[in-house]
Amino acid sequence: MKKVCVLLAEGFEEIEALTVVDLLRRARIYVDTAAVADEYMVRGSHGIAVQTEDLFSEVDFEDFDMLVLPGGLPGTTNLGDHSGVRKVIRDFAEKDKYIAAICAAPTLLGSLGLLKGKRATCYPSMEKQISGAVLTGAPVMSDGNIITGQGVGAAIEFALNLIAVLMGDEKAQEIAEAIVYH
């Protein structure tokens, strides 16, 4: 079974995070939500509190095939300020494991040098903060082990892309049809 960890820091974008969790679980992918904080309850950028399964410190990231970084502010900033998160991202990159980031979160990958020469996308006003990437402006972009998304409006397409990467196009199409996504 494929395993994905979605990191939630205070101020995360709720739709980007929960769309991924919901659709991947519909595809029968194991999804763990981990709080990048000292409490299991994490408040999103629009005040929606979400109960996570684990704290960041409790997760054995070796067990996971993919790491997902939702955007939102100050969620992205809080992810980037956490040394453990930066270390896990680097570890995933070194092991060529999948790293998915949407909205503002690709700026974190850029700051770690992981987007140099890669095709990527992010929230349009964040593009100036990413150097070295080939920014496409597409809703979703995959390049090697890095998957990026533009923002809330691309959340379903982003999640379906993650399903396709992990389980194949047929499974992604099955989920798209089940949720009546055209």
CATH number at residue 53: 3.40.50.880
- Confidence class of residue 111 from pLDDT cuts 50, 70 and 90? very high
- Spot the catalytic one: 66, 103, 108, 141: 103
| CA 134/CA 34 separation, integer angstroms | 30
| CA 155/CA 15 separation, integer angstroms | 7
The predicted pLDDT at position 106 comes to 98
Record the pTM: 0.97
Indicate the average pLDDT of the chain.
Answer: 97
- Confidence class of residue 91 from pLDDT cuts 50, 70 and 90? very high
Report DSSP state, residue 113: T
| CA 52/CA 35 separation, integer angstroms | 6
Burial class (CB in 10 A: 0-12, 13-18, 19+), 52: buried
**φ/ψ of residue 31, rounded to 5:** -125, 125
Domain span at residue 169? 3-178
Give the count of beta carbons closer than 10 Å to the beta carbon of residue 49.
9
Report DSSP state, residue 178: H
Determine the average pLDDT of the residues in 100-125: 97
- Relative to beta strand 49-51, strand 41-43 is antiparallel
Q: Per-residue pLDDT for 57 more than 90?
A: yes
Determine the average pLDDT of the residues in 57-84: 98
| CA 107/CA 179 separation, integer angstroms | 30
Measuring CA to CA, how many Å separate 173 from each of 84, 150, 157, 179, 180?
A: 35, 21, 11, 10, 10
The count of structural domains within the chain is: 1
Report DSSP state, residue 131: -
103 is catalytic: yes
The predicted pLDDT at position 131 comes to 85
User: Radius of gyration over alpha carbons of the chain, in Å?
Assistant: 15
DSSP structure string for 44-105: -TTS-EEE-SEEGGG--GGG-SEEEE---TTHHHHHHT-HHHHHHHHHHHHTT-EEEEETTT
